Copies of this chain bind each other. A is one copy, B any other.
Amino acid sequence: MAKPSLPSGTRDFSPDTVRKRTYIFDTIRKVFELYGFQPLETPAMENLDTLMGKYGEEGDKLIFKILNNGLNDPKNIDKAKAAFENVLQGKNDKNLTERALRYDLTIPFARYVAMNHGQLTLPFKRYQVQPVWRADRPQKGRYREFYQCDADVVGSNSLLNEVELTSIYAEVFQRLGIPVEIRLNNRKILAALAEHCGGPDKMTDITTAIDKLDKIGLDKVKEELAGRGLSSPQISSIEQYLAVSGTNSEKLHQIETLLGHLAPAREGLKELRYVLNLVDSGSGLTPQTSNLVCDFTLARGLNYYTGIIFEIKATGVQMGSIGGGGRYDDLTGLFGVPNVPGVGISFGVDRIYDVMEELQLFPAAVHTGTQVIFFNLGEEESRAGYLLMQELRGRGLRCEMYHEQAKFDKQFKYADKKNIPVAVILGSQELEDGTCVIRHLREGTQNTVAQKDLAHALGV
């Protein structure tokens, strides 16, 4: 028999890993809810129509499609043949596949808002924590199934939303103990830069090039800009723009000097100042954990962003961004419902997990499943132990009893492997005395207490 295996790019999560991931998810969910966001869940499958054409040509190829059932049913054979012909010619065919797996959480959210537009109370603040699937080539840190963790507000142009989302980032990373920079920019300022350097059609060229600054350095960025047809004076303006430095207010001032003659730049700067000001006064950001940084080189790839954009960088570790987002003008236009602007953020949970492992930030309690094990030393003993155990469970302690009578050694070994901190030992002598032994397995200490005092002795 073939040894069973997992599909490439997918993972099992063993108990310890699930507990650590749950710790991250619960922390984020808790903060989302403190900020008035509501949970939404959409199905893993969407109609293929809903997804196709939304992620660009490359994205479309990475969508996992689901084979229709019953293709080899004799009554479907003609349809199946026609479908296969179509597929061989590079066309989709509904007789072969009409459903696909969720590729991100944004398009299903847009589909949900469009479908329920009449019933929703706007602004609608939703969060969503679910897996997505992509047929990417698996590699280190890139999986074919991974969780996304998004919060969006739609139906509001208010900057208060940007303030709140910034505070959510600060609060989540404070709670997780990860020191981060929350980097902010505004696409309006990038638009002004493009206008300053030849017009709006240069926007993509410029943002694509400066997005690579960290990776390839200034000289290569300038080369790329020249290759994309920008003139020397234009490139020189961009160089000035990229050289902006200092504190946030110094940088804002320098951008004002450079681009303040253009209305979009003035608007972008005003928005950033509003957010910085309100977040600083209200969120209790501390330099130990979160640092709010204006980063005018930040571009974010996605073309649909139109206002303030976010990116989160963990400081002190080598790791790409662990979160990002921004404002968009139109979530649901693709589904026939225009004029639904919004702003959203996302947490990169797999990377956050890796950062927390590297910095050893998971609290010790996360590693403990069962808190108390009752040793099994015979029928009568285990019966008495069972009653005590039920009492402890009633008081919230996670308990188990070793499943059968066995030698001490074996039971100690089991407790040790499962990292259980406390054993309760109730043998024939203890049964007679109405006592039991509490053994602290990590410390190797023990004491005997009356059975009626067990809960109290364990602090519950």
Does A12 contact B41, Cβ atoms closer than 8 Å? yes
Interface string of A228-261 (1 = CB under 8 A from B): 0000000000000000000000000000000000
Q: Which of A66-84 contact B (CB under 8 A)?
A: 66-67, 69-72, 77, 80-81, 84
Interface residue from B387, B393, B403 paired with A156 (Cβ < 8 Å):
B403
Chain B residues whose C-beta falls within 8 Å of the C-beta of A34 in the assembled complex: 393, 396-399
Q: Which of A89-132 contact B (CB under 8 A)?
A: 89-91, 96-99, 101, 111-112, 114-116, 121, 123, 125-126, 131
Further contacts, 14 of them, CB under 8 A, given A45-B145, A158-B404: A6-B43, A6-B47, A12-B42, A12-B115, A13-B41, A33-B369, A34-B396, A36-B369, A44-B101, A61-B69, A65-B66, A65-B69, A66-B66, A283-B390
Listed A/B pairs (26) with beta-carbon separation below 8 Å: A4-B47, A4-B49, A4-B50, A6-B115, A10-B44, A10-B45, A12-B43, A18-B39, A33-B398, A35-B400, A36-B398, A44-B145, A64-B67, A64-B69, A71-B87, A72-B88, A80-B84, A84-B84, A121-B414, A125-B400, A160-B376, A160-B382, A161-B403, A164-B400, A171-B393, A281-B386
Task: Give the B-binding residues of A (Cβ under 8 A).
Answer: 1-7, 10-15, 18-19, 22, 33-36, 38-47, 49-50, 61-62, 64-67, 69-72, 77, 80-81, 84, 87-91, 96-99, 101, 111-112, 114-116, 121, 123, 125-126, 131, 133, 135, 144-145, 153, 156-158, 160-161, 163-164, 167, 171, 278, 281-284, 334-336, 369-370, 373, 376, 382-383, 386-387, 389-390, 393-394, 396-401, 403-404, 414, 417-418
